[in-house]
Amino acid sequence: MTALVEISAQDSVPGDIVRLLDRDGALIAGDLLPAEQIDQIIAETAPVIDRSAEGRDDFTGRLTKRTGALVARSPASHAAIAHAVVLAAATEYLTRHCARIQLHLTQTITILPGQGAQPLHRDRLAWGGYLPDSIEPQFNTLWALTDFTAANGATNVVPGSHRWPPDRRAEPAEAVQAEMPKGSVLVYSGTVVHGGGENRSGQPRTGMNLTYCLSWLRQEENQFLSCPPEIAKALPSELTDLLGYTMANYALGYYSSPELIEGTPDTMAPEAALGRRRGTKLDSAVLTGSG
């Protein structure tokens, strides 16, 4: 099986990322963030990872720790979540089927020594089998917070499997491992077949999984609970828009305050929960997405 294509930060043009995703379903990009930024993410997440419990089944991993709410817990992660190249590529890739994109999941994944390989799967199955094959719902990134090696559980990916029929099962021999140094990022679609690798080493392997999806779909991580308004109101609008504190379309996502506020409309845009108004740029994006 052909290894995944690797591109450097200098080559990381959003259009090229989208082209490789369309062709292979996955790729590796290097040096998108400076080393000190990665180290700060590690410093902020390590105490929470240490306190996290291992998974309860074979899929989540009985020797794997998954730790979420990264927007609220790790300010340094914001640079990765809202990375200009990543967001531009995710937007180009996903807005074929939506007016805007949203943050689907923020999670560190720490594979401990002795953990076996995760079953190969497609992330899009979070929505069951209800989405038509013609719609790609996800743009995924997995940032290496440690080196990813063949021995410590580098992610298994089956290149080209995003074009397979839904009922075709992948064999382990069809997968390649996304070996990459700390600071690199695996970019992959929601449809490509993949899974965490077996950790045969004596050290944990940690990645930061940041994924994006179509704004009209339910997010895997409930961002309004992981990052509630009292925390979100201090964040820049670029992040809160990704979390979902904005309209996904003309009439998708409004809310009404449980307490009637005299002199205001009873249906309000989510920004109002943060004490903000929608900007003209956002209004235009929302209105042009309406039919």
Q: Which residues are within 8 A (CB) of 163 and not within 5 positions of it... i.e. 6 or more apart?
A: 25
- Segment among 178-187, 199-208, 272-281 with least mean pLDDT: 272-281
d(CA 269, CA 277): 8
Residue 100's Cβ-count burial label (10 Å; 0-12, 13-18, 19+) is: buried
Q: Mean pLDDT throughout 53-78?
A: 98
Domains assigned to the chain: 6-214 (2.60.120.620), 246-288 (no CATH)
How much is the pLDDT for 260?
74
> Partners of 106 in the beta sheet?
210
What's the mean pLDDT when you consider all of the chain?
A: 92
**What is this structure's pTM?**
0.93
Digit-coded pLDDT (tens) for 98-119: 999 999 999 999 999 999 999 9
